């Protein structure tokens, strides 16, 4: 942690901005908002505020903007790149209290406050046979506002798309306190600049999203899944590339390397995976034709020399996914004295998926690191995680070197430095490399929307 409790800014003005005492200046509470789930250094904010409406967000931002006080919006705090760390001090603005839910089943859409938790939303939607579909690992914590901020996605993006693909309308409060509606609750529109798409993925650096209208999908009537093992990483990742390139549209297709399998086995009693490179393939459909797709998927796996194909029944499918969702804690607890250095998150064109999987493996070997890989493989998305001794600076440095090397390789392969975790603090160093001159345009937008630079400073854009 950079610092303890010396205030950077006087934030007593917040007491007038929100009602019911939804603000704190207490050190013990402020300290809880210094970090997120990332390994990046925390920073204790000077105040934490929980506005309950767009109007209260407006009051907070207007006052902060007038005084030049930094504001870091925060949702579930499950970010992995320091997206919600108040690096410059000032205010943490939590959207947790903005949690209304209005379901329009006949329009397959829902309007929610930014503070609604992903899993809670899907629980409420289930009785309507509907679902908000990206399928993230941290759904028990992550909120819709946070998902919009980082354009989050996960297991099911391969079929249903990222958060962006579901956002139809946003209510946003700008740095100077304007409350703006972007987009409409309709399937499509060509009416001017798509401001909503500008706010999606902007990580609270352009404004605070307070309300979101999301398109929903039907819960599929049929789900079929299989655990498939392969003799090598290349074989498994090649099967993925082939399946996607053959226009199969799975509900999920997840890659887990042998090291990750060992970690999941050690962490969970409910499931025991064979210790080989593995795919979880899940198909969704509303009719019995799903059996034909399953046979097609199996044939592709056979072409790639699969070792085993184990159908996952209804009974154990949730256990399997829960095990996979617990990959992060499973890794954290794999060695008592070591911890996760960082969670890699690159995407490449699907045909290059085997290449990026191999790059991680080779670099990890060269750097003498214990690295595990999982990935939403159907999107070309790979996560890699090195376990390190946190007291061994040199070893931590090697883990960062691995990340840099893999990100540079992903960019060289035509890919991106982050598929779903966002830029935050951790990926700023790659922004120039990934975007080139486009950075200047991003910077000009930032200056236009937030001329005083109060919105989540130190995130997304690299230093000029």
* Subset of residues 123 to 152 that bind a second copy, contact rule: CB under 8 A: 129-130, 150-152
Stretch that binds a second copy, among 10-18, 245-253, 258-266, 316-324 (CB under 8 A): 245-253
Which of 371, 428, 383, 388 is CA-nearest to residue 410?
A: 383
Q: How many CA atoms lie within 13 A of 390 on its CB side?
A: 12
| Minimum distance of a second copy from residue 246's CB (angstroms) | 8
Stretch that binds a second copy, among 3-11, 348-356, 360-368, 396-404 (CB under 8 A): 348-356
Contact between 395 and a second copy per CB under 8 A: no
Applying the rule CB under 8 A, the residues between 209 and 228 that interact with a second copy are 217-219
Distance CA 246, CA 153 (A): 23
Q: Which of 12, 246, 308, 322 binds a second copy (CB under 8 A)?
A: 246
Contact between 329 and a second copy per CB under 8 A: no
Q: How far is CA 148 from the centre of its chain?
A: 9
Q: To 10 degrees, the CA torsion angle through 161, 165, 167, 169?
A: -170
| Minimum distance of a second copy from residue 413's CB (angstroms) | 9
Instruction: For residue 229, list its beta bridge partners.
Output: 278, 308
Token digits of residue 178: 């304007």
The total number of residues written for the chain in this structure: 464
In 3-state terms the chain splits into helix, strand, coil percentages (rounded to 5) of: 35, 20, 40
Residue placing its CB nearer to a second copy in the complex, 72 or 83: 83
CA dihedral for 149, 153, 154, 155, sign (positive or negative) = positive
| Minimum distance of a second copy from residue 81's CB (angstroms) | 9
Strand arrangement of the beta sheet that strand 23-24 belongs to: 23-24, 47-49, 91-94, 71-74
Contact between 244 and a second copy per CB under 8 A: yes
Contact between 75 and a second copy per CB under 8 A: no
Give the position of tokens 């907070």.
60
- One character per residue 435-454, x = contact with a second copy (rule: CB under 8 A): xxxxxxxx-xxxxxx-----
Distance linking the first and last C-alpha atoms of the chain:
25
Token digits of residue 29: 């509470």
458 φψ region: left (φ > 0), alpha (ψ -120 to 50), beta (else) = left
Residue placing its CB nearer to a second copy in the complex, 317 or 439: 439
Residue placing its CB nearer to a second copy in the complex, 181 or 404: 181
Which of 401, 396, 385, 269 is CA-nearest to residue 37?
A: 385
Which of 406, 409, 415 is CA-nearest to residue 435?
A: 415
Q: Which of 280, 290, 301, 395 binds a second copy (CB under 8 A)?
A: 290
Residue placing its CB nearer to a second copy in the complex, 89 or 415: 415
Which of 51, 152, 131, 53 is CA-nearest to residue 93?
A: 51
Q: Which of 49, 60, 112, 200 binds a second copy (CB under 8 A)?
A: 200
Q: Which of 36, 416, 455, 457 binds a second copy (CB under 8 A)?
A: 416
Contact between 245 and a second copy per CB under 8 A: yes
Stretch that binds a second copy, among 18-26, 32-40, 180-188, 332-340 (CB under 8 A): 180-188
Contact between 158 and a second copy per CB under 8 A: yes
Residue placing its CB nearer to a second copy in the complex, 44 or 413: 413
Distance CA 244, CA 242 (A): 6
| Minimum distance of a second copy from residue 390's CB (angstroms) | 27
* Residues contacting a second copy: total by CB under 8 A: 99
Q: Is 192 exposed, middle or buried (0-12, 13-18, 19+ CB in 10 A)?
A: exposed
Assign 267 to helix, strand or coil.
Answer: helix
Contact between 355 and a second copy per CB under 8 A: no
Residue placing its CB nearer to a second copy in the complex, 164 or 310: 164
Stretch that binds a second copy, among 62-70, 117-125, 185-193, 386-394 (CB under 8 A): 185-193
Contact between 390 and a second copy per CB under 8 A: no
Q: How far is CA 16 from the centre of its chain?
A: 34
Applying the rule CB under 8 A, the residues between 292 and 311 that interact with a second copy are 292-293, 296
Q: Where are the beta strands (DSSP E) in 185-333?
A: 207-215, 217-218, 222-229, 252-256, 278-285, 308-312
- One character per residue 251-270, x = contact with a second copy (rule: CB under 8 A): --------------------
Contact between 59 and a second copy per CB under 8 A: no
Residue placing its CB nearer to a second copy in the complex, 193 or 269: 193
């Amino acid at each position: 942690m950079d610092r303890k409790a010396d205030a950077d800014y006087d934030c007593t003005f917040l007491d007038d901005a929100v009602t019911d005492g939804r603000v704190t200046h207490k050190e013990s509470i402020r300290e809880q908002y210094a970090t997120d789930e990332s390994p990046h250094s925390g920073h204790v904010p000077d105040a934490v505020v929980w506005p309950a409406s767009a109007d209260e967000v407006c009051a907070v931002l207007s006052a902060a903007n007038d005084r030049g006080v930094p504001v870091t919006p925060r949702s579930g705090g499950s970010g992995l790149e320091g997206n919600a760390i108040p690096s410059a001090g000032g205010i943490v603005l939590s959207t947790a209290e903005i949690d209304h839910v209005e379901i329009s089943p006949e329009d397959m859409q829902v309007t929610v406050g930014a503070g609604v938790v992903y899993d809670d939303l899907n629980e409420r939607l289930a009785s309507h046979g509907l679902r908000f579909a990206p399928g993230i690992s941290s759904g028990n914590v992550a909120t819709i506002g946070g998902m919009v901020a980082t354009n989050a996605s996960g297991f099911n993006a391969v079929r249903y798309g990222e958060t962006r693909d579901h956002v139809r309308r946003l209510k946003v409060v700008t740095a100077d306190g304007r409350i703006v509606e972007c987009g409409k609750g309709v399937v499509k529109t060509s009416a001017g600049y798509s401001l909503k798409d500008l706010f999606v993925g902007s990580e609270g650096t352009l404004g605070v999203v307070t309300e979101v209208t999301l398109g929903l999908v039907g819960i599929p009537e049929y789900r079929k899944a299989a655990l498939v093992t392969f003799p090598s990483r290349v074989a498994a990742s090649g099967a993925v590339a082939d399946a996607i390139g053959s226009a199969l549209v799975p509900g999920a297709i997840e890659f887990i390397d042998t090291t990750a399998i060992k970690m999941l086995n050690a962490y969970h009693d409910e499931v025991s995976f064979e210790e080989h490179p593995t795919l979880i393939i899940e198909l969704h459909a509303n009719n019995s034709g799903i059996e034909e797709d399953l046979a097609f998927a199996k044939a592709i796996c056979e072409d790639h020399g699969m070792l085993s194909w184990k159908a996952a029944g209804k009974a154990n499918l949730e256990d399997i996914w829960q095990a996979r969702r617990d990959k992060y804690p499973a890794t954290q607890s794999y060695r008592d004295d070591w911890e996760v250095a960082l969670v890699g998150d690159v995407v490449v064109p699907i045909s290059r998926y085997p290449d990026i999987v191999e790059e991680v493996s080779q670099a990890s070997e060269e750097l003498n690191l214990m690295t595990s890989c999982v990935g939403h493989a159907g999107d070309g998305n790979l996560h890699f995680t090195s376990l390190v001794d946190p007291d061994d600076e040199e070893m931590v440095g090697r883990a960062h070197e691995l990340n840099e090397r893999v990100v540079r390789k992903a960019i060289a392969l035509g890919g991106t430095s982050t598929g779903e975790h966002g830029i935050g603090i951790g990926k700023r160093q790659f922004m120039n490399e990934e975007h080139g001159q486009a950075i200047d345009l991003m910077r000009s937008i930032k200056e236009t929307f937030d001329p005083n630079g109060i919105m989540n400073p130190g995130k997304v854009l690299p230093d000029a």
